[in-house]
Amino acid sequence: MNIIDELKWRGAVNQTSDEEGLKKLTEEKSIGIYCGVDPTGDSLHIGHLIPFIMLKRFQMAGHRAHILIGGGTGSIGDPSGKKAERVLQSMEQVHHNEQRLTDQMEHLFGRDNITIVNNHEWLSQIDLLSFLRDYGKLFNVNTMLNKEVVASRLEVGISFTEFTYQILQSIDFYHLYKYNDVQLQIGGGDQWGNITAGIDMIHKIEGNNAKAFALTIPLMLKADGTKFGKTEGGAIWLDPEKTTPYEFYQFWLNQDDRDVVKYLKYFTFLDHEEIDGLAEKVKNEPEKREAQKRLAEEVTSFVHGKDAVEQAEHISRALFSGEVKDLNAEEIEQGFKNMPTVETSIVKENIIEWLVNTKIEKSKRQAREDVTNGAIYINGDRIRDLNFEVDPAKAFEGRFVIARRGKKRYFLAKVVD
C-alpha cells in the first residue's frame, strides 16, 4: 500500500497540497520529509507525537526523515494557537531546550535514515537587509493577513515579530528543499498556512515545476469532544521526569472504548489485520480492554522502551492485588506519585501513634478500631496487633512506608530527616 493510502486508512490526513502528485513521487523514489518543533519547552508532550509519528511512518517506509529543531524560530515565537503574544525566552533557555528536544528525538527515531537540523544555523546568518530584499519581497501582506494563523490574531493584535514567523518557516522549507533534497513538510492542521507559504516561496524562486508538497494531520479530539492529550493533571509529557512511564502507560490504558481504535491507528505501528482484530474485541468483549492494553504497551514501548512497559505492568499488578511489597523504591515512586502523601521520620513508632501522627487516621480511637478490624495494611501486610511498630527502615531502601486503609485507600509516607 502506498504510504499516503496508509496514512489515509489511519485517519491521519487532513489536507494535502497535491495528493496525486505526492503519491506519484513517493512511488517513484525515496523522498525527503521534514517536521519541525520549536524549543519552547524542554520536553515534547503527546500532542507533539502526532505529526512525528507520521514522520516515523515515512522513515519506516524507506523515505528520508528530517527533524527540524527551531532554535531560530523558537527565539521569536509562533503565533499558531495563541490568543496573545508569547513571552520571549532567554537564548540560554532556548539552547537548553534545543538540546533536550534533540536528545528525545534521537531516542525516538534512532540515527538511521534520519537527519536532525537546527534552523538557527541558517536563520542567524541572514542580515536584515538580505531578509527584506531576498525574502520579504516574495510575500504579499494581504495574503499573509488572510492566513488563518494571522487572521485569528488580528482582533487582539499581533506584533511584527510574530507576523514574520511564516516567512521564517518558509525559509526553512526552501533551505531544506535546496540543500537537503526535502520535498514534503508535515505538521498540524494549524500549520497549513505556514507550510503552503513555504511552497509558494519555493515556486517563486525555483519555478512552478518544483516538487514541494504539504501534508497536515487532523485536530485530535476525544469522543466527548474535548482536546486529546490533556488531563486534570496537565499535559502528558515524554520526559519521564515530568510524566513517569507508569503514568504514561496508565494514560493509554484508560482510553475510552470509543477512541481506542482510532488511537491504535494513529499511534501504533500495528498492521491492519491486528487493529481490525482488536476493533472486533472492543465491539464484542469490551470488558477485557485488550485494545487499551495493546495501545498502552505499544506507545509506552515506543517512547520509553520495553523495560518501562514491564515495569508499568508490574506496578499495575501490585497495586491491583495489594502486593506492594514486591515493588522496589523506584516503582513505588512512580506508582504512588499522585496518591495521598504524608511524611514520617525514620524512627520506629507504635502503629496507633504512627497512623495519627501521619494524619492517616483522625483519632486514636478510629485507628484502634481500624487495626482491630483488619482494615490497616503496612507495606502490603495486614496489621491487627495494636502493639505493632512501624519501622520505616525496613523496606523500600528506607525511603517509604506504604499504608492502606480498607481495600483501595493507599497512602505514601515519605521518610524525612
45 carries an active-site annotation: yes
| Residues 164, 168, 173, 176, Cα dihedral to 10° | 170
From the list 10, 16, 38, 48, the catalytic residue is 48
Strands 389-390 and 234-235: unpaired
Residue 410 marked ligand-binding: no
From the list 190, 257, 381, 391, the catalytic residue is 190
Alpha helix locations (H) across 64-156?
Answer: 91-109, 120-123, 128-130, 141-146, 148-151
Residue from 259, 202, 204 nearest 227 by CA = 259
3-state DSSP of 205-271: HHCCCCCCEEEEECCCECCCCCECCEECCEECECCCCCCCHHHHHHHHHCCCHHHHHHHHHHHCCCC
Residue from 65, 48, 44, 399 nearest 190 by CA = 48
306 carries an active-site annotation: no
Residue 266 marked ligand-binding: no
Residue 93 marked ligand-binding: no
Residue matched to cell numbers 538580505:
130
Contact criterion met (CB below 8 Å) for 201 and 174: yes
Indicate left, alpha or beta for 256 from its phi (over 0: left) and psi (-120 to 50: alpha). Answer: beta
86 carries an active-site annotation: yes
Contact criterion met (CB below 8 Å) for 261 and 291: yes
From the list 40, 73, 166, 311, the catalytic residue is 40
Provide CB contacts within 8 A for 68, sequence distance 6+. Answer: 34, 35, 36, 37, 117, 118, 119, 172, 176
Element (DSSP H or E) covering residue 366? helix 364-372
From the list 8, 95, 203, 230, the catalytic residue is 230
Indicate left, alpha or beta for 284 from its phi (over 0: left) and psi (-120 to 50: alpha). Answer: alpha
- Cα 300 to Cα 307: distance, rounded to the nearest angstrom: 10
169 carries an active-site annotation: yes
196 carries an active-site annotation: no
From the list 23, 82, 203, 204, the catalytic residue is 82
Question: Measured at the alpha carbon of residue 37, what is the angle toward residues 31 and 39, in degrees to the nearest 5?
Answer: 145
3-state secondary structure of 186: strand
368 carries an active-site annotation: no
From the list 24, 133, 178, 227, the catalytic residue is 227
63 carries an active-site annotation: no
Residue from 126, 336, 124, 119 nearest 247 by CA = 336
294 carries an active-site annotation: no
From the list 26, 73, 166, 169, the catalytic residue is 169
Residue 288 marked ligand-binding: no
190 carries an active-site annotation: yes
Based on its alpha-carbon atoms, the radius of gyration of the chain, rounded to whole angstroms, reads 26
216 carries an active-site annotation: no
In this structure, how many other beta carbons lie within 10 angstroms of the beta carbon of residue 270?
16
Q: What are phi and psi of 58, to 5 degrees?
A: -60, -45
Annotated binding site: 34, 165, 169, 230
The annotation places the binding site for L-tyrosine at 34, 165, 169
Q: Which residues does the annotation place in the binding site for ATP?
A: 230
Which residues are identified as catalytic?
Answer: 40, 45, 48, 82, 86, 169, 190, 227, 230-231
